[in-house]
């Protein structure tokens, strides 16, 4: 069994760390070296541990990592070495997968809506496994395939029940039963090379039944397909698989929606059970894949953002106290109305996940030397923690009790690798966090 080693990932110059190294201390040490005010620690060993977990829970289901979740080249290279294929959504992602060493046959171009030029670009890269969910897309794919080599097409189905998912995709993608029947007949009529079926229950799915129902629906469509003469060779179980750590960022949204998410083990065992039932409708040599993203990259990255500014706002009565500086006023017992902190990354950077991924970041506080703030905290103040841009919307924590942090302290967010860096911009000219890849030795 392959193990990730510094040798295997030599070109990335991984930093050796101890197993279960304290991330707060690591962040402080990395700041001392780089002077960066936002640092991402990418722990490759976590990817490996997750890969083992996947293999043990879902034997026979090969993960095709969803690059969109976090396209960092170390993640892609490590997952390729471990044996993953890739789920891509654009020619740029196809090129990233190939650059990681992946073979074109280990890629699924799973964006159900592609431009004609993207389809041609994929064929030029020898990638020919495509997802679709509409007549127009099917025709565009047929029209843009090379004459001598037809594409292989996977029909994406609308899961029957998305109600327990935080990010629902059904409004945008997936064929309902009526559409699926029509598309199957169209495939037959147009001679399209339909090879498989897929679904996506949505991110942050809180129900085992949602997975069960989706597989059952897939079975129904596979039977129809087989009645039309198709011998399907691919089952794609989509994405929506949480990692342990990244569920913490969903705790508040889940609680709000009344969702208690099932464990990966519960989901896996339900999937295996349902899969066994639908296999007869597929070809005997059917391959089963899935498209996890968050499951791998979520826990692998920890973000540290440095407190570089602090502003204590006192209550109106401050003038009664002798003193001009914040320190003098604090010492004299002036009442604090609120504290505003300014940190190295924000909503336009990694914390775009607050908007786009519905997360409530799980913040921990670390002293400048790397030691964590003791919990339960002593006295706290109502505080805002703002990102570094000029926009007031750029706020990662609004009006919550926080211990009095010092400039130079760190806000550390564990398991913050999914849908964070992937959609970060450099608004206001603020650089994205520096990523330091590490390996436990």
Catalytic residue among 57, 69, 127, 390: 390
* Identity of the residue, 135 or 369, whose beta carbon is nearer to a second copy in the bound complex: 135
Q: Is 320 in the site for a second copy (CB under 8 A)?
A: no
Binding characters for a second copy, 221-260, by CB under 8 A (x = yes): ----------------------------------------
Using CB under 8 A as the binding rule, the residues of this chain from 155 to 184 that contact a second copy are: 167-173, 176, 178-179, 182
76-84, 90-98, 212-220, 229-237 -> range binding a second copy (CB under 8 A): 90-98
Residues 6+ apart with CB under 8 A from 2: 8, 81, 82, 83
Q: Is 355 in the site for a second copy (CB under 8 A)?
A: yes
Q: Which of 24, 63, 85, 91 binds a second copy (CB under 8 A)?
A: 91
User: 324 in helix, strand or coil?
Assistant: coil
User: 246 in helix, strand or coil?
Assistant: helix
22-30, 105-113, 214-222, 253-261 -> range binding a second copy (CB under 8 A): 105-113
At its nearest, how many Å lie between a second copy and the CB of residue 308? 4
Instruction: Locate 410 and state its tokens.
Output: 């760190």
Q: Is 324 in the site for a second copy (CB under 8 A)?
A: yes
Residue (of 412, 420, 250, 409) closest to 339 by Cα position: 409
Q: Which of 117, 263, 335, 380 binds a second copy (CB under 8 A)?
A: 117
User: 47 in helix, strand or coil?
Assistant: helix
At its nearest, how many Å lie between a second copy and the CB of residue 175? 9
Cβ atoms of residues 39 and 49 within 8 Å: no
Q: Is 397 in the site for a second copy (CB under 8 A)?
A: no
At its nearest, how many Å lie between a second copy and the CB of residue 436? 18
Distance between CA atoms of 109 and 144, rounded to whole angstroms?
14
Binding characters for a second copy, 261-300, by CB under 8 A (x = yes): ----------------------------------------
Distance between CA atoms of 4 and 82, rounded to whole angstroms?
8
At its nearest, how many Å lie between a second copy and the CB of residue 430? 6
Catalytic-residue membership of 88: no
Q: Is 71 in the site for a second copy (CB under 8 A)?
A: yes
Strands 152-157 vs 107-109: parallel, antiparallel or unpaired: unpaired
Q: Is 384 in the site for a second copy (CB under 8 A)?
A: yes
What are all long-range contacts of 375-381, with beta carbons under 8 Å and residues at least 24 apart?
A: 377/401, 377/402, 377/403, 378/403, 379/403, 379/404, 380/404, 381/336, 381/338, 381/339
Per DSSP, which regions of 315-416 are E strands?
A: 336-343, 364-366, 380-386, 395-403, 410-413
Q: Is 54 in the site for a second copy (CB under 8 A)?
A: no
Q: What is the DSSP secondary-structure string of 114-169?
A: --HHHHHHHHHTT--EEEE-SHHHHHHHHHTS-TTS--EEEEEEPPS--TTEEE--
* Identity of the residue, 179 or 440, whose beta carbon is nearer to a second copy in the bound complex: 179
Give the residue numbers marked as catalytic: 390
């Amino acid at each position: 069994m392959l193990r990730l080693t510094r040798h295997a990932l030599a070109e990335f110059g991984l930093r050796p760390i101890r197993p279960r190294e304290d991330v707060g201390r690591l962040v402080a040490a990395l700041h001392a070296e780089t002077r960066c005010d936002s640092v991402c620690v990418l722990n490759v060993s976590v990817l490996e541990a997750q890969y083992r977990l996947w293999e043990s829970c879902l034997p026979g289901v090969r993960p095709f990592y969803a690059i969109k979740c976090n396209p960092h080249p170390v993640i892609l290279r490590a997952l390729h070495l471990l044996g993953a294929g890739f789920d891509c959504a654009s020619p740029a992602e196809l090129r990233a997968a190939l650059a990681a060493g992946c073979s074109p046959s280990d890629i699924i171009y799973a964006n159900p809506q592609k431009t004609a030029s993207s389809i041609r670009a994929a064929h030029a890269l020898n990638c020919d496994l495509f997802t679709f969910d509409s007549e127009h897309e099917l025709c565009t794919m047929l029209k843009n395939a090379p004459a001598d080599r037809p594409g292989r097409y996977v029909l994406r189905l609308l899961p029957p029940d998305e109600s327990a998912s935080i990010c629902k995709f059904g409004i945008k993608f997936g064929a309902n039963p009526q559409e699926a029947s029509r598309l199957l007949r169209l495939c037959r009529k147009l001679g399209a090379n339909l090879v498989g079926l897929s679904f996506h229950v949505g991110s942050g799915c809180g129900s085992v039944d949602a997975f069960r129902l989706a597989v059952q629906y897939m079975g129904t469509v596979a039977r129809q397909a087989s009645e039309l003469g198709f011998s399907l060779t691919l089952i794609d179980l989509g994405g929506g698989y949480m990692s342990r750590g990244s569920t913490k960022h969903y705790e508040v949204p889940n609680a709000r929606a009344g969702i208690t998410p099932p464990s990966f083990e519960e989901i896996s065992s339900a999937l295996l059970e349902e899969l066994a039932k639908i296999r007869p409708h597929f070809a005997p040599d059917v391959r089963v894949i899935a498209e996890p993203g968050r499951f791998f990259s979520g826990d692998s990255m920890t973000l540290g953002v440095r407190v570089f500014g602090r502003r204590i706002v006192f209550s109106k009565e401050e003038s009664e106290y002798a003193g001009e500086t914040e320190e003098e006023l604090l010492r004299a017992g002036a009442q604090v109305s609120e504290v505003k902190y300014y940190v190295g990354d924000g909503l336009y950077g990694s914390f775009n996940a607050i908007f786009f991924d519905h997360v409530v970041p799980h913040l921990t506080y670390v002293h400048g030397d790397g030691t964590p703030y003791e919990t339960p905290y002593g006295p706290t103040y109502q505080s805002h923690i703002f990102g570094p841009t000029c926009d007031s919307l750029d706020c990662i924590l609004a009006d919550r009790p926080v211990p009095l942090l010092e400039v130079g302290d760190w806000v550390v967010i564990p398991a913050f690798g999914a849908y964070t860096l992937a959609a970060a911009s450099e608004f206001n000219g603020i650089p994205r966090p520096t990523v330091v890849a590490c390996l436990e030795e």
